[in-house]
Structure 1
């Protein structure tokens, strides 16, 4: 059956787009290559608990429509305010506080938010798309087609410069578990100022609310580029940097690395989405800054525009 819109990509942007289309009374199908939706809202169960491997948190800001979604998540205990204060750690491990907007987290893991958005949608998982043209996916009629994915991946499927060829940065997320907490109780999260190996550290037990002695450490783009073919090789330098920055006096009990080849755009377009007849695109590279709210807002705006056309 041909639908009004086919969305390729089951991350938060693609799911927000599909929901807006379905809520407007149009038919939509989501094709995703993974076993479960989520994209960079990725959580993995490690030693019996979900750990966020992708987005570290999200901020509502002035995104009013996204704010309504977050309020509903909070009411149903899917999301909770986490912290409005991180620290910045210098090369010698000296911290300084960095207040900012409220950061939100998902007690069940960030993928739970994507699964909630996908509830009631026609989602086809483990469906790898190889070629897209206007209104056509892999040679079959597909209605309006939306590519909800990083621009380098979209460019492999269609000959359209969606993001004007903007560069994307890689990240390797390293999950480190200790037998007990060995860093300050009020850490929450930390930006590493000028470190060659680490860009951000999140206290996953604090973020999750269960107090587990687990850190999720994101590498710098330069460190990630060195290990894209073998992500586990990033673990040793990340452990060393983490112990130095947080002054931890013991090796972690376990460690796991996850590669994100296209973690975030180096720059955004400033426009809400890409639109052309039969083929459009949305995601966190569209808007003023790369963020979870940007991805949701881009998909929602495109979905409403398609439904109205």
Structure 2
């Protein structure tokens, strides 16, 4: 039996869409190539501990629907307020403290947010979709088809997809673990200005709340592009730069690199989603700013629109 909606892509946008469809009483399934849902909120177990490799945090913003979801996550211990204060570090290591909106994190890793949205949804994991068209996935009837993924990936599945090409920036996330914490307890996170390789540093033990001596460093887009075919090669220069920037006097005892070819859109469309008969797109490029809340809102809005049609 054909479902009403088939979502291809198991990140937060895809499951927000699926959840909205199912909550409205329509049938939906999600197809994802990963072994577990998560998308760019994926956490990977490294040395026996889940580490966030994708989005560093999320901000609630002024979306009342998303605020209710986050409030429920907080009540059940799935998400928690992390910090409203980050550092800005220049290339010489000088730091300035800056206060902004409250950043949120997930104690069990950001994948937990997606897994919670996926609860009770029909999911087919580990499947590589080869071809989509309106109302069809790999030649089979699929109801309304939603591509919840970056536009360049969507275009690989459908030649002539009816949206304008989008430019996306790569990032390599480098996990650095020490034998003990060797940086200030109030580091939280730091934007690095003017560095050729390092863009952001997150204290993952502080973010997760377990105090683990782990930093997750995101490269600049330019550095990721240079090392996109050999992400492990970026570990040494990023580790050295991180030590200089934070004044750490020891080498990390373990390191891991993860490549995100399509980490973030260079610009967003300003529209909440793309919709045409039988084929729609959603994600963090479909909104006013690239963010976790944008991805959720895009999927949720599209799911509600599909369910109402």
State if a TM-score over 0.5 links the two structures. Answer: yes
**SS class of match (1:40):** helix
User: Matches of 2:130 and 2:115 in 1, distance apart?
Assistant: 24
Gaps (5+ residues) in structure 1?
A: none
Residue deviations 1:209-265 (CA, integer Å, cap 9, x gap):
011110000000111111111110010110111011111111101100000000000
Q: Post-superposition shift, 1:308? A: 0.5
Assess, with a 3 A threshold, how the Cα gap between structure 1 residues 107 and 207 changes in structure 2: closer, same or farther.
Answer: same
Q: Report the Cα distance in structure 2 between the residues aligned to 1:166 and 1:129, rounded to whole angstroms.
A: 21
The residue matched to 1:156 in structure 2 has which SS?
helix
Q: Does 1:11 align with 2:11?
A: yes
Aligned residues: CA RMSD: 0.8
**Map of 2:186 onto structure 1:** 186
Q: Give the equivalent residue in structure 1 for 2:285.
A: 285
Tell me the alpha carbon deviations over residues 43-87 of structure 1, each in whole angstroms, 9 at most, x when there is no partner. 011122110000100000101111111100000000000000000
Q: Deviations over 1:136-171 (max 9, x none)?
A: 100001000000001100011113456521210000
- Secondary structure at the counterpart of residue 50 of structure 2: strand
Give 2:215's aligned residue. 215
Partner of 1:232: 232
Asked if residue 132 in structure 1 is aligned to residue 128 in structure 2, the reply is: no
TM-score by length of 2: 0.99
> SS of the counterpart of 1:2?
coil
Residues of 1 paired with 2:282 and 2:64: CA distance? 18
Q: TM-score, normalised by structure 1?
A: 0.99
What's 2:102 paired with?
Answer: 102
- Correspondence for 1:244: 244
Distance of 1:160 and 1:123 partners within structure 2:
27
Match of 1:185, SS state, is coil
- 2:156 maps to 156
Task: Report the 3-state secondary structure (helix = DSSP H, G, I; strand = E; otherwise coil) of the residue aligned with 1:100.
Answer: strand
